[in-house]
C-alpha cells in the first residue's frame, strides 16, 4: 500500500538559511499534519491542514510557514534557520471522517550548522 512520502530525507543547512520540506499524503487522504521531533523527545505538533485550509496550529515558530496544495501535498517552509531547528520533521496524513488515525511518513532529518 502507498505510504506518506517526504522529501528530502536528509537536509543540511547553515544558520539563517531557508529550507523547504515536502510531504505527499497517502492517496485520498485529505488531512496533513507536521511534527517536529528533537533527539530523545516526543513528536511535537506544528500545524495541520484539512482540504487545503489550516485546521490546527501547534508550536510552530513564526519563522515557519506551511500550506497544502490542490493535489493535497504540503510544504513546510522554514526561514532564518537556527541551530535548535535541527530535528526530525515528520509529516502524517489521515482521512477526515474516518477517525484521526494518522499515518506517518519516513521523516526529513534536518541538520542546521
Looking at residues 39 to 58 of the shown chain, list those that interact with other proteins (rule: CB under 8 A): 41-45, 48, 50, 55-56, 58
Q: What's the CA gap between 39 and 42, in Å, rounded?
A: 9
Q: Is the dihedral of CA 81, 24, 50, 46 positive or negative?
A: negative
Query: What minimum distance in Å lies between the beta carbon of 81 and other proteins?
Result: 21
Q: What's the CA gap between 36 and 73, in Å, rounded?
A: 18
Query: What minimum distance in Å lies between the beta carbon of 100 and other proteins?
Result: 5
Q: Which chain residues interact with other proteins by CB under 8 A?
A: 31, 33, 41-45, 48, 50, 55-56, 58, 88, 90, 94, 96-97, 99-107, 109
Amino acid at each position: 500500500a502507498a505510504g506518506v512520502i517526504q522529501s528530502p530525507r536528509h537536509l543540511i543547512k547553515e544558520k539563517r538559511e531557508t529550507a523547504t520540506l515536502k510531504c505527499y499524503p497517502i492517496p485520498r487522504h485529505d488531512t496533513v499534519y507536521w511534527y517536529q521531533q528533537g533527539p530523545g523527545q516526543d513528536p511535537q505538533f506544528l500545524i495541520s491542514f484539512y482540504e487545503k485550509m489550516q485546521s490546527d496550529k501547534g508550536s510552530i515558530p513564526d519563522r515557519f510557514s506551511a500550506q497544502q496544495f490542490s493535489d493535497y501535498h504540503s510544504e513546510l517552509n522554514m526561514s532564518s534557520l537556527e541551530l535548535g531547528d535541527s530535528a526530525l520533521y515528520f509529516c502524517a496524513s489521515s482521512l477526515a471522517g474516518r477517525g484521526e488515525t494518522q499515518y506517518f511518513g519516513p521523516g526529513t532529518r534536518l541538520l542546521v550548522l
